[in-house]
A and B are shown apart, each in its own frame.
Chain A
Amino acid sequence: MENQALGQVTSERLPVHFPDPIQVANCYQCGKCTAGCPVAMHMDVAPNQVVRLAQLGEWEKALRSRAIWECVGCQTCSTRCPKEVDCAGVMDALREASLARGMAAPGRYFVVAFQKIFLENIHRNGRLNELELIGHFKVDVLLHTGRIPFLFKDAGLAPQLGKRKKLHLIPGRARDRGVVERIFERCSGERKA
C-alpha cells in the first residue's frame, strides 16, 4: 500500500478514487461531522479522523478501520459539514476500496458479509429475495465465525413474521434479468482512477 506524503492533499492524487465532487482537501477538522454522527462512539476512528486519514493518504489505516463499516450511511455528517465535504461519500468510497483490496476489518465481518450477500442477491434476482438473503447470510456467518447471526437469536421472529404475512414465500423477481446482468457487468470493470 503506497503511502502519500504529508502535504499532498488534493483528491486527484490519492490512490483511492473519490467521485469528483468529494474534496477531502477542504476539511478543516472542525469535528462537526463526528459530533452529529449517531455511531461515532462505536468507531475506532471518528468520522473527522477518517477524513483526515484520507487527506494524508494514510490508506492502510483508513481501509482497515472498523469505523467505515460501523457507519450506517445516515448522511448527517455530509449535511452538516460547513466545508461541504461529503463525509458519507468518503465512507462509501473507502468501503468500496477496502473490500476490493481485501482489507475489510475482520471484526466487522457481519456487516461486510451482509452487504456482499445483499448485492449478490440483487445481481441474481433483480429484486431482493429476503428469505434467500437471510438464509445465505446465516450460513455464511455460521461458516466463518461459528456464530449464529442476530436475527435468529431473536427467538421466534421468523414465525412472528410469518404470522403477520410479512415473509413472501414466492418473492417477485425482475423478469428481464438479462439487463440486470449486463448492468452489473458494465459496472464491475476496473475503476478509472
Chain B
Amino acid sequence: MNIGYYPGCALHGSSNDCEQSLRACLSALDVQLGEIKDWICCGATAAHSLNHKLSLALPARNLAVAERDGFKQLFAPCPLCSMQLLKAKKAVADERVRKELSEIVEADVRGESEVLNLIQLFEKIGVDRLKPAVKAPLESITAACYYGCLLTRPPDVVHFDDFEQPSSMESIVAALGAKTVEWNYKTECCGAGMTMCNEDIVLELAHKILSNAAEHGANCLVVACPMCHVNLDMKQAAVERRFGKKLGMVVYYLSDLVGLALGLSAEQLGINRHFVTQA
C-alpha cells in the first residue's frame, strides 16, 4: 500500500507523539506513507472562520499536489484537515468552481483522491490483517471510543460511519482484544481548536467527556484526532484543578492501541510522552 500522507501542522508540531505512534505502527504493518510534497497548512478554523475562499483554496492546493503525484488515497490524521480537504473536494464537483480553484492554486484540482481519516486508514488495512498480527491482546483495556465532532460531521461532506452512533473504532479496538463501553459523549465536541483562546469552554467540555467515560466503566479513552488528544490529555490536569476531582484517564490515539497489540512498546509509540500516564 502506498498512501499519500498529509500530516498537517498539528502532527508536525505539538502532536508529534501522534506521528511517532502512527509511523511505528504502520511500519510494523508494512504500510508506506508518501508525504505530500511541500504541503501547506489547510488554514484550519481560522481560514473557515475568516475567509471562505481561502478555506477551500489551501486544501485544494494539497489535493492537487497529491493527485499530480499519483496518490489515489490521501491520509489526513487531523479530522479538521480532512474535513477541509473533503469540503474542497465537494466544491470542485462544480466545474466552474474547479476551474477557479485550479487557477488560484496553480495546479489542476481534480478532486478524485479518496481522503482517509485515521480510522479509515485502519479499515483499509483491514481487521482481517490486524487480527492475526496481534501479539499482545489488550485484555486489561476497557476503552471509551471517542469520535469527537468532526470525524463524522457534517455527514454530507465526510460520508463516514453513523454520525450519531458511530461504531467503526469499536470494531478495530475489539479486534485488538480490548473491551469497549457504551457511553453518552462519543460524538460530543471537546472544543477542538479553542484550546488556547477559549480555555473555559474546552475545560468544561473535556470535563463532561472524561467524567462520562469514567462513569461508564472505561479505564481509558481512545481518540482519532490530535486536537481531542490535546484537550483531553494535555488539559486534563487543568480540568482536575478546575473541577476539583481526580480523573487520571489515560488517552490513547487509536494507533497507540494498535501498536501495543502488535507488541510495540510504549516508548516506541511515544505513549510515554503523553501527559496522563498509567498509574
Report yes or no: A183 in contact with B238, Cβ–Cβ below 8 A. Answer: no
Of B14, B44, B205, the most chain A CB neighbours within 10 A belong to: B14
- Chain A's interface: helix, strand, loop or mixed, by majority? helix
Report yes or no: B150 in contact with A164, Cβ–Cβ below 8 A. Answer: no
Q: Which of A86, A110, A114, A161 contacts B14 (CB 8 A)?
A: A161
Within 141-193 of A, Cβ neighbours of B (below 8 Å) are at 149-151, 154, 157, 160-161, 164-168, 171-172, 174-176, 179-180, 182-184, 186-188, 191
Point out the residues of chain B lying under 8 angstroms from A75, CB to CB.
83, 149-150, 153-154
B100 to chain A, nearest CB (A): 9
Report yes or no: B38 in contact with A78, Cβ–Cβ below 8 A. Answer: no
User: Looking across the interface, which residue of chain B has its beta carbon closest to that of A125?
Assistant: B41
Q: Does A105 make an interface contact (CB < 8 A)?
A: no
CA distance A185 to B51 in the complex (A): 12
B256 to chain A, nearest CB (A): 15
Report yes or no: A113 in contact with B197, Cβ–Cβ below 8 A. Answer: yes
Of A1-9, A24-32, A54-62, A88-96, the one with at least 4 CB within 8 A of chain B: A88-96
Report yes or no: B153 in contact with A92, Cβ–Cβ below 8 A. Answer: no
Point out the residues of chain B lying under 8 angstroms from A180, CB to CB.
40
Q: Which of B17, B106, B234 contacts A182 (CB 8 A)?
A: B106
- Contacts A74-B150, A74-B189, A92-B52 given; indicate if A171 touches B13 (C-beta within 8 A): yes
Report yes or no: B16 in contact with A168, Cβ–Cβ below 8 A. Answer: yes
Q: Which of A38, A70, A92, A93 contacts B188 (CB 8 A)?
A: A38
CA distance A192 to B150 in the complex (A): 29
Q: Does B141 make an interface contact (CB < 8 A)?
A: no
Q: Which of B54, B154, B163, B189 contacts A183 (CB 8 A)?
A: B54
CA distance A25 to B234 in the complex (A): 42
Q: Which of A122, A160, A174, A179 contacts B275 (CB 8 A)?
A: A160
Report yes or no: A128 in contact with B13, Cβ–Cβ below 8 A. Answer: yes
Point out the residues of chain A lying under 8 angstroms from B40, CB to CB.
122, 126-127, 174, 179-180
Point out the residues of chain B lying under 8 angstroms from A99, CB to CB.
50
B125 to chain A, nearest CB (A): 27
Point out the residues of chain A lying under 8 angstroms from B61, CB to CB.
179, 183
Q: Does B57 make an interface contact (CB < 8 A)?
A: yes
Point out the residues of chain B lying under 8 angstroms from A151, CB to CB.
195-196, 199
Q: Does A111 make an interface contact (CB < 8 A)?
A: yes
A130 to chain B, nearest CB (A): 4
- Contacts A92-B49, A115-B46, A127-B9 given; indicate if A76 touches B41 (C-beta within 8 A): no
User: Looking across the interface, which residue of chain B has its beta carbon closest to that of A160?
Assistant: B275
Of A73, A168, A188, the most chain B CB neighbours within 10 A belong to: A73
Q: Does A139 make an interface contact (CB < 8 A)?
A: no
Report yes or no: A72 in contact with B198, Cβ–Cβ below 8 A. Answer: yes
Within 14-34 of A, Cβ neighbours of B (below 8 Å) are at 19
User: Looking across the interface, which residue of chain B has its beta carbon closest to that of A166?
Assistant: B14
- Contacts A95-B50, A183-B57 given; indicate if A78 touches B9 (C-beta within 8 A): no
Residue contacts A-B, CB under 8 angstroms, 19 given:
A38-B188, A38-B189, A70-B201, A72-B189, A78-B153, A86-B154, A96-B51, A111-B198, A115-B49, A119-B51, A122-B58, A128-B41, A165-B273, A166-B14, A166-B17, A167-B13, A183-B54, A187-B57, A188-B51
Interface residues of chain B, those whose CB is within 8 Å of chain A, are 9, 12-17, 38-41, 43-55, 57-58, 61, 83, 103-106, 149-150, 153-155, 163, 188-189, 191-199, 201, 205, 234, 238, 273-275
